[in-house]
Chain A
Amino acid sequence: MSDYILEMKHVRKEFPGVVALDDVSFSVKRGVIHALIGENGAGKSTLMKVLNGVYPATSGEIFLNGQQLDISGVKQAQAAGISIIYQEFNLINTLSVAENIFLGRYNGKQTVHWKALREKAKALIASLGFDFDVDKLVGRLSTAEKQLVEIAKALSFDAQIIVMDEPTSSLTEKEVDMFFPIIERLKAQGITVIYISHKLDEIYRLCDDVTIMRDGKVTGNSTVKDISRDEIIEKMVGRSLDMEYPKRTVTPGDVILEVKDLGRRQQLKGISFQLHKGEILGFAGLVGAGRTELAEAIFGADPADRGQIILNGKPVSIRSALDGKKNSIGLVTEDRKETGLVLAMDVTENTTITDLKSVSSGILLNRKAEEKVAQKYVDQLNTKTPSLHQKISNLSGGNQQKVALSKWLYSNSDILILDEPTRGIDVGAKYDIYCLMNELTEQGKSIIMISSELPEVLGMSDRVLVMHGGTIKGELAGRDMTAEKVMKLAID
């Protein structure tokens, strides 16, 4: 048998008008953790979808254990021992853990053998070193636990290869620390893991080999210990990045927003803080600490029921997103596909969505004016799009995020709330967004940034507020802004 468990040779995949994969060859050694890295739109996900039978390849061959494999559907890939865990989980929230693991395979012909099912599910979870109630509904689990259920599900198919698509993107640092040993455990069991990620730290911590992709092609293959961070970044973006975080250049001015004793139901309690003009105020904390809820309360998407919001010294009443917009507040949500952009619309329409009045003459929309606005932000944010009328769903994650930002820049928000602004986007686009944040604060705008990536919060913020359990646990500034201090406040 060859050293390689998987060899994909000269794979080409075309979509109408686009070549997504161009002569990609990708080989994975048996029993390793193999990182697949690249900017969004580089073709990683497409390659994995070809492997998993979601898309048929236009041309190319796939060998598993040296034998050619004809994958024409997800079922065949599963039967061959290839499982994929997507970033957005494939779990049904209203079913139990055991039911999710064995979904569609309830071992009896027509009936469900509940007892056997539960025991098998329990054994699978136990093999990962965990123990929890398999009758619990998946909807009640934390993201990390859902991740576990997905892995257990993959194992139940006797998977030889498990593909994980950015598994840590929605996990907190603490959860990541729990998650890595699980992957190590899989490796110890002889399972090969293909690990898709944007985070270099994780790759150095976890992976044995790395393959780097750019623009539908493989640009590098190496063992992880023989390649430097700079080399990886260079191969990803085709240029080297000087710094991960640009230097802050603005000294914050007067208080622009003051929140006093804000609360909502059981989710938020006694929130008070001040935001200064030109400041980037970071909100750190674990997932579920109440940061997104706070953002929604300030913006009005889910208004507060107690406390006060004071803008420029005047108390304001914000009861809806419309009120938020009227008060020059913008919220870039954490999930751009679900709550940030209308996927059926194009770049222009998504940009002007927040203020159609300014591009109207009388009651009629002025399309030329709209295009001018869209062009302005495409240029300013360095958004890569074939045209202003490209459907937003055809852009990569980073470029989508830039459009999601554009709409609030266009509505002239003085206060921008950015919820996980760089989640799931590539290094190049991240840097663009950081630079933009600096530029905006130079223009006198103020930014509230919520992020679960500690280096980012620490690297970009002037001050950091740490939340836990719906309250603000502490404020860190200057020298106190260290990962250890943030984590200490966030965990308790």
Chain B
Amino acid sequence: MNKNRSTLRKSELQFFFLENAVIIVLTAFVVFMVFYRPSFRSWANLTTIINDCCMYGITALAMTAVIICGEIDLSVSSIYAWSTCLFVILCNSMNIFSAAVITLLVGAVWGLFNGMLVAFLRMPAFVATLGTMYTAKGLAYYITEEKPINTGNPMLATIGKINIANISLVPIVFLIVLAVLYCIMRYTKVGRNVYATGGNYEVARLSGINVKLSKIIVFVFTGICSALSGIMYCTRVYSGAATYGSDLTTWCVAAAVIGGTSMSGGYGGVHRTIIGILLMAILFNALTLLGVDGSMQRFIRGLVLVVVIMFDAISKAKKR
């Protein structure tokens, strides 16, 4: 009996390691950095990490909801780039709050467009959002005449300089988005329906759930959040360009999956993505501190994505 119990423990332990392999490896890496590079644990560096990752993190949260709904949104990087351009152009002719509201609304429209393609035309999200990815990027190039544009809006500069102990406005906005999305996903009918739709589309439909609406809602969330991430970036650089944020999509998918949200839909949670966001941010900050150059970092980013999704697939196979 004793022996049986220990074998039971062993298999549970194995399962735990497999489930959390990526998190464990990355955490080990962080511990290594803390001791190896003292500059890593300086307050200035830690706050930089937080300020940085919360910007992309906003979109990663929404991406998590899309993935839970059983879909994917490849267009976030382009909606983000488009939003930086639109916001900066608007800032040059109106106050920043109106500019922000318009940019967010346009972001919502992009998401609505994605959602309609997927829900009503039954296009695979992969294809629909790939199309939007090029469309949005193309429009961004068009309105900026393929050049980065700047703004000297004084309000934006004031907002951008908000800073409490080196923490900017971005983490605060991130926390608000996190709280809202978490509550929606966990405590509202809409959220539950998103889980059901992602868990099994047919079951959800046959249970009288408005599955099309569920899909549209998550894509609209993502459109808005991508735009919000873009606006947050503008508060730091005061400029917009069609080339911004090209790594956003992979970054968000990786963060969500590292956090434990499964690509197969129905499993996971937006709060879990926080771990993914932090680990992604720390990893790349550390790589920079170690002197790894930008192109190599891109390579590693791709690699992380592949490895993470590989583990997701393996643990899914094990669960069967």
Q: Which residues of A contact B (CB under 8 A)?
A: 14, 16-17, 58, 299, 301, 321-322, 324-326, 331, 333, 338-345, 349, 353-354, 356-357, 360, 363-365, 407, 411
Contact = CB atoms under 8 A, between A and B. Distances in A.
Interface in B8-24: 8, 11-12, 15
Contact of A344 (B192, B195, B202): B195
B87 to A, nearest CB: 30
Contacts of B102: none
A96 to B, nearest CB: 27
Contacts of A14: 4, 7-8
Contacts of A411: 208
17 contacts: A321-B208, A322-B210, A325-B207, A338-B200, A338-B202, A338-B203, A339-B202, A340-B203, A342-B195, A342-B196, A342-B199, A353-B204, A353-B209, A356-B193, A364-B183, A364-B188, A365-B187
B203 A342 contact: yes
Contact of B205 (A321, A338, A345, A364): A321
Given A343-B200, A345-B195, A324 B208 contact: yes
Contacts of A299: 206
A57 to B, nearest CB: 12
Nearest to A362: B188
Contact of B200 (A301, A322, A342): A342
B2 to A, nearest CB: 14
Contacts of A326: 208
Given A16-B12, A16-B15, A360-B189, A353 B206 contact: no
A363 B188 contact: yes
B199 A343 contact: yes
Nearest to B208: A325
B267 interface: yes
Q: Report which residue of B15, B196, B207 has the largest number of chain A beta carbons within 10 angstroms of its beta carbon.
A: B207
Contact of B204 (A16, A17, A324, A342): A342
B8 A16 contact: yes
Sort A-B residue pairs by CB-CB distance and give the 10 closest, nearest first.
A325-B208, A344-B266, A342-B199, A344-B199, A356-B189, A322-B208, A364-B187, A342-B200, A353-B207, A339-B202
A485 to B, nearest CB: 33
A24 B38 CA distance: 60
A322 B213 CA distance: 12
A81 B267 CA distance: 39
A331 B183 CA distance: 31
Given A342-B266, A354-B208, A363 B189 contact: yes
Contacts of B8: 14, 16-17
Nearest to B195: A345
Interface string B204-223: 11111110000000000000
A24 to B, nearest CB: 15
A338 B8 CA distance: 31
Q: How large is the interface on B (under 10, 10 to 19, 20 to 34, 35 or more residues)?
A: 20 to 34
A16 B206 contact: no
Contacts of A322: 208-210
B214 to A, nearest CB: 12
A390 to B, nearest CB: 15
A154 B200 CA distance: 32
Contacts of B198: 344
Interface of B: 4, 7-8, 11-12, 15, 183, 187-189, 192-193, 195-196, 198-200, 202-210, 265-267
Contacts of B7: 14, 58
A338 B206 CA distance: 11
Contacts of B11: 16
Interface of B is mostly: helix
Contact of A345 (B187, B209, B266): B266
A350 to B, nearest CB: 9
A344 B269 CA distance: 13
A395 to B, nearest CB: 15
Nearest to B12: A16
Contact of A321 (B12, B195, B207): B207
Contact of A354 (B4, B187, B200, B207): B207
A349 B193 CA distance: 10
B213 to A, nearest CB: 10
Contacts of A353: 192, 196, 203-204, 207, 209
A365 B188 contact: yes
Contacts of B206: 299, 301, 321, 331, 333, 339-340
Contacts of A354: 207-208
A58 B209 CA distance: 43
A354 B189 CA distance: 11
Given A301-B205, A349-B192, A364-B187, 12 more contacts: A322-B209, A339-B202, A340-B206, A341-B203, A342-B196, A342-B199, A344-B267, A345-B196, A353-B196, A354-B207, A360-B188, A363-B189
A341 B207 CA distance: 9
A133 B202 CA distance: 34
A283 B195 CA distance: 34
Nearest to B204: A342
Contacts of A339: 200, 202-203, 206
Contacts of A360: 188-189
Contacts of B202: 338-339
Contacts of B199: 342-345
B4 A357 contact: no
A17 B5 CA distance: 9
Contacts of B189: 356-357, 360, 363, 365
Contacts of A17: 8
Contacts of A349: 192, 195-196
Nearest to B186: A365
Contacts of A324: 208
Contacts of B200: 338-339, 341-344
B111 to A, nearest CB: 21
Q: Report which residue of A17, A325, A354, A365 has the largest number of chain B beta carbons within 10 angstroms of its beta carbon.
A: A365
Q: Report which residue of A301, A322, A325, A342 has the largest number of chain B beta carbons within 10 angstroms of its beta carbon.
A: A342
A89 to B, nearest CB: 17
A92 B74 CA distance: 31
A407 B207 contact: yes
Contacts of B193: 356
Q: Report which residue of A16, A353, A357 has the largest number of chain B beta carbons within 10 angstroms of its beta carbon.
A: A353
